[in-house]
Structure 1
Amino acid sequence: MILSSFASQASNTNILVIDVDKKPLSNIVVFAEPEIKPTVAESTLSVPYTAIMDQVNRQFSPHILVVNKNTNIDFPNSDRIKHHVYSFSPAKTFEIQLYREKKLDPRLFDKVGEVILGCNIHDWMVGYVYVVDTPWFGKTDGEGNINLALPDGKYTLKIWHPLLQEADQSFTQKITVSSHTNITINVKEAMKPRYAAYEDDDELDDY
């Protein structure tokens, strides 16, 4: 995407996120907020695309979905059982009652922040949508890397993951992009332990 408030040239900015033991961290949301708010053609801003948060094997898929503000998200159910998706998060409160095969209208996510998803039938199902207000975002790969094609300019880098400690959730780093850049983000504290896995078999299989 070319933004009119920036030079047309974009530079590859490779970002590596590592933990306190210098090991790479995967699935970390990384996003770059420009110092100068970009101006984009009205047609680009007003037509939200549709992202997908599926339900596969009684889990949300992907576990973490990051989207730009004003994105529509579709919630299909690829399981052979019914689910009841909900969220009480301030950034998006909604409920999709028991459903399996019916086609549903997508939900618009127009507020920035963390949205925690659950299922009223399967308590272990937890997923996350993280909404950002910038077109430059993504998640780190299995080696802890993410590459953002940033137009030249000044940005604030931020990260997010549900298991990051508070000190790392509030991480910010100012960067100036004018050429290919390599950046390493060092997480300050050990991540929170993962929740215990629930057994897949339960008395509600018919749903």
Structure 2
Amino acid sequence: MLKFQIASTLVVGFILAGLSIANAQTLTVTVLDQQGQPLADAVVSIDTGQTQQPLAGGAIMDQVDTLFNPFVLTVPAGTTVRFPNSDNIRHQVYSFSAAKPFELPLYSNREAPTIDFNEAGIVVLGCNIHDHMRAYIYVTPHTESQVTNAAGQAQLTWAAADSATLRVWYPGLSETITEEFQRELTDAATELTVQLPVTIQRQETPELSPLQQRFNRRKGG
């Protein structure tokens, strides 16, 4: 069972638009960081007690320029994820997360191993070769989950007449990886802004050492 709770000190603003309750409508959620800046890569979910079907075509977690791509991926439980390597060097992907511990042997860009994610939870990814590589797979148990874009926004569809809970997750929201912000949706909300007490998380490629820079120059020459 996932633990999806967060303290009530989070700042939440509602912008209600429209008075009629449609059978199904779009909810636009904007997520901000503690500085009030748009927060990309937050997972926004609608929870009505229903669950999603696994993605028939699966999903992809790539490795590009020694970074995972995307930084945050959300998939329904039961989905198969491919791990292609688009770099010209080898990677060794692993996770120690309770939802899906695994390790892929060192592999090149000629391979694309697959992993089945059957249990809902948060899966933290790393690479045994490159310590700066870090990413997350949010295996959702909810009705719908979307990752926010560069503007910090995600759009979800819900039936306003139904009882529903809004849930928002982001890396570093709490010391407990599975905790998330939650708020009951009881009105015909079409727009909602959530501000989380977090700073922006991202992968960053470390600067090359002088020896590595010299090697790359010689290789390029």
TM-score normalized by the length of structure 1: 0.78
Aligned-partner Cα distance in 2 for 1:19–1:120: 30
Deviation at 1:199, TM superposition (A): 2.8
The unaligned stretches of length 5 or more in structure 1 are 1-7
State which drifts further: 191-200 or 110-119: 191-200
What is the Cα-based RMSD across aligned positions, in Å?
A: 2.9
More strand by share: 1
* Residue matched to 2:14: none
Count how many residue pairs are aligned between Structure 1 and Structure 2: 189
Aligned-partner Cα distance in 1 for 2:93–2:66: 11
Equivalent residue of 2:163, what SS?
strand
Are residues 1:37 and 2:50 paired? Answer: yes
* Residue matched to 2:165: 156
Give per-residue Cα distances to partners, 1:166-206, cap 9 Å, x unaligned: 5994311000365x61111122x243776775235687x9x
Q: Structure 1 runs of 4+ off > 3 angstroms? A: 45-49, 101-105, 165-170, 192-197, 200-203
Identity over aligned pairs, percent: 34
Residues 176-191 of structure 1 correspond to what in structure 2 (within 5 A)? 176=186, 178=188, 181-187=190-196, 189-191=197-199
TM-score normalized by the length of structure 2: 0.74
Equivalent pair of 1:32/1:156 in contact (CA under 8 Å): yes
Deviation at 1:85, TM superposition (A): 0.7
The unaligned stretches of length 5 or more in structure 2 are 1-21, 217-221
Q: Structure 1 residues 195 and 82, CA, compared in 2 at 3 Å: closer, same or farther? A: closer
Deviation at 1:147, TM superposition (A): 0.9
* Residue matched to 1:119: 127
Equivalent pair of 1:32/1:158 in contact (CA under 8 Å): yes
Give per-residue Cα distances to partners, 1:74-102, cap 9 Å, x unaligned: 00000111111111110111111111134
